[in-house]
Amino acid sequence: MPQAASDWPALAAVRPQRIVSLNLCTDQILLQLVDPARIAALSRLAQRPDSSMLAQAARGIPVVKGSAEEVLALQPDLVLVGTHTTLHTTQMLRHFGIPVLAVPGADSFADAQAQILLVARSTGDEAQGQQLVQRMQAAQQRLAASVAGESPDAAQRPAAALYAVNGHSAGVGTIYDDMLTLAGWRNATADAGVQRYGYLPLERLVAQTPRMLLLPRYDHNARGAQRPLEHPVLAQLDIQRLELPSRMTICGGPWNIAAAEQLAQARRASVGAYSDSVTP
């Protein structure tokens, strides 16, 4: 979980003007908060539409591979990194006195919002960060209210599961779990006992009788989303399939709520409102 925004001290009276991001998720947070003129560079994934929801907004901003040498050449006054940014790079930057903020990944909607507030504090854009989080929370509350009006207790909800190549799935403690729950589904992978991201054996998946399989779609490999369905057991089952672009779930942000809205629409199309499918 990201550290509290209050844990990041004020950098200076003047907001950073040459910010570098070396992580796809901090790229996208930065693009939502900061004037592009203050961004010295983004990661090399920032302009890839198969990876970033804000690839178009990133065009025209320099990108870097992430070596310490190329970052130092940009003379940044703040560098945003993720937990997987190379230790050598972060150590080298700090050795030369460059302020570096390491932003942990987001495993929930709350984590994603904490990320935004943390980055906003570091860049001096706290008002923009608060506004973005408030918009996300409002969208989340609207969908939750809509689902609550249709839903019986959680145990009676239809089951759905992420099912990717090689049986990769997402259980408790993931953005997918938050999205499915908000959309009115029961996460079959969580019910099967999977914590976070892991392997879900086919027999355990089938035992949960999912109504829908959520298939991540990678634009550079369109066929990849359908590959899990090639197993003869799954091919014979009457299970709804929904392909969701992977860029909507790689990082936390408003697009997670949009993905949950798609999941809610898929549930309604599949089983109707709960009041229509549950016997009084």
DSSP-derived 3-state class of residue 252: coil
In terms of domains, do 66 and 113 share one? Answer: yes
Pair 152, 113 in one domain: no
By percentage, how much of the chain surpasses pLDDT 70? 84
pLDDT of residue 7: 41
Angle ∠(272,252,175) on CA atoms, nearest 5: 50
Handedness of CA 6, 51, 170, 156 (dihedral sign): positive
Question: Does residue 278 have a pLDDT over 80?
Answer: no
Average pLDDT of the residues in 108-133: 96
80 and 160 co-located in one domain:
no
In this structure, the strands spanning 168-170 and 100-103 are: unpaired
Number of domains the chain is built from: 2
Domain membership of residue 106 as a residue range: 5-125
Name, in order, each residue with C-beta under 8 angstroms of 214's C-beta and a sequence gap of 6 or more: 160, 161, 162, 163, 176, 180, 242, 244, 263
Of 125, 151, 169, which residue sits at a domain end? 125
Structure tokens at 34: 């900061």
Q: Is the pLDDT of residue 116 over 90?
A: yes
pLDDT of residue 54: 97
Query: Mean pLDDT, to the nearest integer, of 224-231?
Result: 53
Does 157 share its domain with 108?
no
Question: Residue 156 gets which letter from DSSP?
Answer: G
